[in-house]
Amino acid sequence: MNLFEPHLFRRQFPLIENYDKSLIEKNGLTSSLIYFDNAATTQKPQQVINSQQHYYQRLNANVHRASHQLSSKATFAFENARTLVQNFIGANSVKEIIWTKGATESINIVAQSLARNTLIPGDEVVLCASEHHANIVPWQIVAEQTGAIIKVLPLTNSGYIDIDEIDNIITNNTKFVACAHISNVLGRINPIKEIIAKAKSVGAISLIDGAQAIAHLSIDVQSLECDFYVFSAHKMYGPTGVGVLYGKEEHLERMLPYQGGGEMIKAVSFTQATTFNELPFKFEAGTPNVAGVIAFAESIDFLAPFLADDTNSYNLYEQKLVDHCFHALAKIEQVKFIVDGKPDIGVIAFTLTGHHNQDIATSLDTYGIAIRSGHHCAMPLMAYLNIDGCLRVSLAAYNTIAEIDYFIESLKNILHDAAFETINEQVSKQAGEVRETDPSVNEMDDIISLFSNTKGWDSRHREIMLLGKTLPRLDKALRNENTLISGCESLAWLKAEYNKEGLYTFSADSDAKIIRGLLVIVLAAFNNKTAQQIIEFNINNYFSDLGLMQHLSPSRGNGLLAIVAKIQLLSREN
């Protein structure tokens, strides 16, 4: 019998099992949530959830700093988790395992504690074209601080790091090489052994971002011979706010602390130099995320047996999901994969000819399907591929073939409805017919009245899309850098005018239908108001009145914050 059984594995995740039972009744599904955003974060098994709750109920105490029994128990569980990580990735010593907030902080520690103190002008840092922003920006910052130069490894047409070019990019001037084990967009397992070996041959230090690899591959850092390896707990069924920095002891010993505070010191004095703690505590200033670390130990206990299973049943099932989803998407005429070929793990990126990514993602959300759209924190990769963004389906072992089939059918329905709608619009224009959508629904009270009679996200989504048709399109000449709304993932533009009474009116446009609809809603709230009224207006209360807060929170989602910020900025300038 295989260690991994898909239906038993799935049962361990309460959110997947229990979310929104209405979807089951509505669609006759065997699942209640189609969660295909696992590259962003994975769901948590019950034992991880229970562990965190158990800590606060039974063990809550600070670690390392007290002689009482409760602290001793908490410290034992906390340090046991470190030992589990050491064994999980094959580190030589627990001294090489540093707790961080996540892979991002781990990279920043290496950049600021090591690279900043060793790089000099003219030294080179080599990255890859497909890196996550977390493995780009820290190196850009340290390059600016030190005068170092960033060089970039190109990709093959299939999205792998182009090994044929490494001799031209990694040279004797290279001091650091930082690349992802697996791209968070392309799903390709990069040839990191060759890259690490090349870095070593020129005396460069290697850092591998394992955030996407850690839940899919068995990692042995000693076999890889990398200098640093980083990952986050939340990508491997663990809690958020916990990460790991693995570093060879020789490097960690010579690195200065990243932050100062409690725990990372041996002695502090106003009259003598402060002395720092030994590894690994030198890099762990302040009270750590004790509950998260202890819960992380449970996620390792949960996942490690599947990765180590000789039958490879866990990985084979993941590959079955990848194959099924990739080939089903390939049969849809409008689908265009952003690189050639099937990915190595369940991270599948594509665009749809004639459709905006955000429109597709929000439409799928009305079917209860969660996928990701945008640049996926990989804007340089989007520029490298000459695209504005893409859709990403990312799978985990709790997903099913039935979910993929439902996703494919839903996507086909969305494309069919969009094509039918386009044909109707063309016929209506030719016949000179007036649109059914009432363009007079543009005042705030009208908008609130409209949505107060609309129930459910699918109906509200439909109304937003219909409202988008009432938004007059901006002339192309007005869609420029001056009117561009910075921070909105979909291209959007905003123009302001104000009259002698000091009242503002705004006109706007976007390349995404869903954003055009949201612009109608937002402009209804801000048009014909003074600058002071615009600044004082509570957009969150407005969206709450519309019943949209849970779907489209203005604090972040869909660029709404960027739209409101642009409106407020323009009102201040005049």
Active-site residue numbers?
377
Q: Token pair of 513, please? A: 């239908």
H or E segment to which residue 44 belongs = none
**What is d(CA 441, CA 458) in angstroms, rounded to the nearest whole number?**
20
Does residue 519 contact residue 471 with C-beta atoms inside 8 Å? Answer: yes
Tell me the sheet residues that pair with 510.
492
SS3 138: helix
Residue 543 dihedral angles phi and psi, to the nearest 5°: -70, -30
The region that residue 250 occupies, defined by phi over 0 for left and psi between -120 and 50 for alpha, beta otherwise, is alpha
Q: What would the DSSP string read from start to end of 183-204?
A: -TTT--B--HHHHHHHHHHTT-
- Give which of 464, 444, 461 is closest to 538, Cα–Cα: 444
Does residue 163 contact residue 194 with C-beta atoms inside 8 Å? Answer: yes
Taking the CA of residue 349 as centre, how many other CA atoms within 13 Å lie in the half-sphere pointing to its CB? 26
Report DSSP state, residue 270: S
**What is d(CA 142, CA 220) in angstroms, rounded to the nearest whole number?**
29
Residue 150 dihedral angles phi and psi, to the nearest 5°: -90, 130
- Give which of 112, 134, 142 is closest to 259, Cα–Cα: 112
Residue 572 amino acid letter: R
Dump strand ranges (E) for 223-311: 228-232, 243-247, 265-267, 275-276
**What is d(CA 572, CA 574) in angstroms, rounded to the nearest whole number?**
6
228-232 β-sheet, strand order: 97-100, 243-247, 228-232, 205-209, 174-180, 124-128, 149-153
Q: How do beta strands 205-209 and 228-232 pair?
A: parallel
Q: Token pair of 192, please? A: 């990191």
> Nearest-5° angle of CA 426, CA 428, CA 429?
65
Cα–Cα distances in Å, from 226 out to 116, 206, 210, 248, 281? 19, 6, 11, 8, 22
Residue 471 amino acid letter: L
> Exposed/middle/buried for 381, CB within 10 Å: 0-12, 13-18, 19+?
buried
